Amino acid sequence: MKESPLFWPIKLENNTIFCLDETALPDKLSYLKAQDTKQALELIKGMKTRAFGQVLMAYNIFLLLLKKTRSLKPEKQIKVLKTAAQKINQSRPTFPFTFFTAMVLAWAKEAQQNKKNISLVVKDKINGFLVDLRQKRIDQALTLSRLIKDGASILTHCNVSGSLVLVAQFCCQQGKKIRFFVTETRPYLQGLRLTAWELQRAKFNVTIVADNTAAYLMSQGLVNLVVVGADQLAKNGDIANKIGTYQIALLAHKFHLPFYVLSPPPSPAKTGKDIKIELRPEKELLEFSGKRIAPKGAKGFYPAFDVTPHSLITKHITLDL
């Protein structure tokens, strides 16, 4: 199966992190480079990569640092990793970076206690984890594909980092014909620019709609289930995902449509109320391609995520790490 470039958007080669520039899609399939933590975090903050790309970016920041610091004393090396972890955790508020950075710090401390070479041990641990993660993401897509019936018309919002292409490929292998409606997902247009792009290039049937069209599609029987991803899963099953997910979930509930979530592992948040919602700069809403589209002086309000309570979620397809 051919993988979507969005499935694994970050790579480390020759001391350089290559990051798929999601803001250049669908016009250009290109990669931005980062050679240190600061540059890498700028790519996250500027949303050049997002969602699953942020997980890969975090691990690759550590891999890069481990290469650069291998001649340092263990205490010093741990300190560098800790500082990086803090910066990663603070880069964007809604994504649960701590889950991933704490894992790396724990490996480093274990290596230090066992008097092992931190660089080698942690590098191996990270690479092993990423191999495992890749397989588990594939398994997750397979699990979801088995829940989808032949002839299904799936509404999706934002972008699930290549997973829907896999889901569609598995459905195809299982002899099932499916189609997608993709919300454009304002203001960043991840649905129009990324999801429609990756499904289209993999030759699946995909139709773009304005975010305003969800209830209309449901009321006309044009979609019969919803699939989204999640940026954070709380312990009680609530999720934080791209703004607009919550209202689609409310509408799916009203129309008795299954609402499936491709979920990450649970974060320390007990419920959705413990998840901090990132407010992005208003210009991301009020400008288009760098040109202001809103009236002069008008204000914008752009919460980048919302919380969907577990009661509206038919099933989590979790990624068990």
Residues catalogued as catalytic: 231
Asked if residue 294 binds a copy of itself (CB under 8 A), the reply is: yes
**What DSSP string describes 149-163?**
PTT-EEEE-S--TTH
Asked if residue 62 binds a copy of itself (CB under 8 A), the reply is: no
Task: Find the binder of a copy of itself among 9, 187, 264, 266 (CB under 8 A).
Answer: 187
Asked if residue 93 binds a copy of itself (CB under 8 A), the reply is: no
Asked if residue 216 binds a copy of itself (CB under 8 A), the reply is: yes
Asked if residue 303 binds a copy of itself (CB under 8 A), the reply is: yes
- Between 61 and 312, CB nearer to a copy of itself: 312
- Between 54 and 308, CB nearer to a copy of itself: 308
Residue type, 188: Y
CB of 209 to a copy of itself, least distance (A): 5
Spatial distance between the Cα atoms of 75 and 64, rounded to a whole number of angstroms = 18
3-class secondary-structure state, position 266: strand
Rg of the chain over Cα atoms, rounded to whole angstroms, equals 20
Asked if residue 14 binds a copy of itself (CB under 8 A), the reply is: no
Task: Find the binder of a copy of itself among 55, 64, 148, 208 (CB under 8 A).
Answer: 208
Are β-strands 16-20 and 10-13 bridged in parallel, bridged antiparallel, or unpaired? antiparallel
Asked if residue 302 binds a copy of itself (CB under 8 A), the reply is: yes
Spatial distance between the Cα atoms of 157 and 56, rounded to a whole number of angstroms = 22
Backbone angles phi, psi at 265, to 5 degrees: -65, 155
Asked if residue 50 binds a copy of itself (CB under 8 A), the reply is: no
List Cβ<8 Å contacts ≥24 apart for 134-141: 134/8, 136/319, 136/320, 136/321, 137/7, 137/52, 137/163, 137/166, 137/319, 138/166, 140/262, 140/317, 140/318, 140/319, 141/166, 141/167, 141/170, 141/262
- Between 99 and 180, CB nearer to a copy of itself: 180
Number of residues that bind a copy of itself (CB under 8 A): 50
- Between 22 and 306, CB nearer to a copy of itself: 306
Task: Find the binder of a copy of itself among 184, 227, 229, 317 (CB under 8 A).
Answer: 184
**How far is CA 48 from each of CA 17, 121, 176, rounded to the nearest angstrom?**
13, 30, 34
Q: Residue numbers of the site for a copy of itself (CB under 8 A)?
A: 26, 181, 183-187, 189, 192-193, 196-197, 200-201, 206-216, 219, 242-244, 246-247, 250-251, 254, 285-286, 288-289, 293-303, 306
